[in-house]
């Protein structure tokens, strides 16, 4: 079945540091890939997505590139802010699937 | 103008009780979902309805019963609540015809069983 493996946290960074959260997946066919963010006490919001190989999703300074050859979708941000403190989830939707399969989530804390 | 709403936001109850959580979406989507997030933040699909038809029913105790009276609503009823049911329950919706169609999540219902 489909699965997502995500870098374990927690991750603690200083403001303006570079953030990378690794995500790899196992899926048949051509899944769509997503990063969701969950701020404290809130629900999940879509951060970015990519639907085919070599697509790059980007939003709010975050980027991730769909790499089929390495089955990866790593999230990066060049300069984090305190407001980026949240839990980040990598997820995939299989090509014949309705549901999302999520990684375990990575808690990121950015200190001023 | 809330897109996906859930009630209640918090629910504290005793073991053995029966409770319901409600979800409504005003996005015109035809598919709705229930996910469970455990204390370690792990998210797992429970159920999904498409046009009022059950399409996903993961391995969930039969104490959990979803009901979709129409495309805009998906409720979750839980019988004989157990301590292990304590979690955050998220409702989501989308219209998954297009590849990568985004699922929109509600704010969550935080259930605590004592």
- Residue B100 in this model has a pLDDT that exceeds 80: no
- Which residues of B fall within a CB distance of 8 Å from A105? 41-43
pLDDT in tens, B33-88: 999 999 989 999 999 998 888 888 887 889 999 999 999 999 999 999 999 999 99
User: Would the CA dihedral through B68, B74, B77, B82 be positive or negative?
Assistant: positive
Residue B25: asked if its preceding bond is cis (omega within 30°), the reply is no
- In the numeric block, which tokens belong to residue A55? 């697509």
Q: Which of A72-81, B12-21, B34-43, B93-102 has the lowest mean pLDDT?
A: B93-102
Look at residues B46, B44, B33, B31 and name the one whose alpha carbon lies nearest to residue A4. B44
- Burial tier of A14 (Cβ tally within 10 Å: 0-12, 13-18, 19+): exposed
CA-based nearest distance B96→chain A, Å:
7
CA-based nearest distance A80→chain B, Å:
22
Residues A102, B44: C-beta atoms closer than 8 Å: yes
Q: Nearest by CB to B42, which of A36, A42, A105?
A: A105
- Which residues of A fall within a CB distance of 8 Å from B31? 98
Look at residues A3, A6, A12, A2 and name the one whose alpha carbon lies nearest to residue A75. A6
CA-based nearest distance A87→chain B, Å:
8
Average pLDDT over residues A3-26: 95
Average pLDDT over residues A51-62: 95
For residue A41, what pLDDT is reported?
Answer: 86
pLDDT band, residue B98 (cuts 50/70/90): low
Nearest CA in chain B to A33: B100
Beta bridge partners of B57: B47
Nearest CA in chain A to B39: A104
Q: Cβ distance B109 to A43 under 8 Å?
A: no
Q: Nearest by CB to B48, which of A43, A44, A98?
A: A98
pLDDT band, residue B1 (cuts 50/70/90): low
Interface residue B48 vs chain A (CB under 8 A): yes
Q: Nearest by CB to A43, which of B45, B50, B90?
A: B90
């Amino acid at each position: 079945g489909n699965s997502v493996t995500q870098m374990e946290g927690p991750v603690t960074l200083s403001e303006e540091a570079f953030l990378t959260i690794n995500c790899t997946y196992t899926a048949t066919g051509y899944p769509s890939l997503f990063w969701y963010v969950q701020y404290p006490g809130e629900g999940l919001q879509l951060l970015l997505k990519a639907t085919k190989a070599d697509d790059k999703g980007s939003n709010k300074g975050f980027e991730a590139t769909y790499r089929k050859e390495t089955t990866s979708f790593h999230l990066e941000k060049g300069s984090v802010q305190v407001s980026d403190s949240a839990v980040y989830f990598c997820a995939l939707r299989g090509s014949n699937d309705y549901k999302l399969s999520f990684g375990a989530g990575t808690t990121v804390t950015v200190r001023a | 103008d809330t897109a996906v709403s859930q009630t209640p936001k918090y629910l504290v109850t005793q073991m053995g009780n029966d409770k319901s959580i409600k979800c409504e979406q005003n996005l015109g989507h035809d598919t709705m979902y229930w996910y469970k997030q455990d204390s370690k933040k792990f998210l797992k699909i429970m159920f999904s309805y498409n046009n009022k038809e059950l399409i996903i029913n993961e391995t969930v105790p039969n104490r959990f019963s979803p009901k979709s009276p129409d495309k805009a609503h998906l409720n979750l009823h839980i019988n004989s609540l157990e301590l292990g049911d304590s979690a955050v329950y998220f409702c989501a919706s989308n219209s998954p015809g297009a590849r990568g169609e985004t699922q929109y999540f509600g704010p969550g219902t935080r259930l605590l069983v004592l």
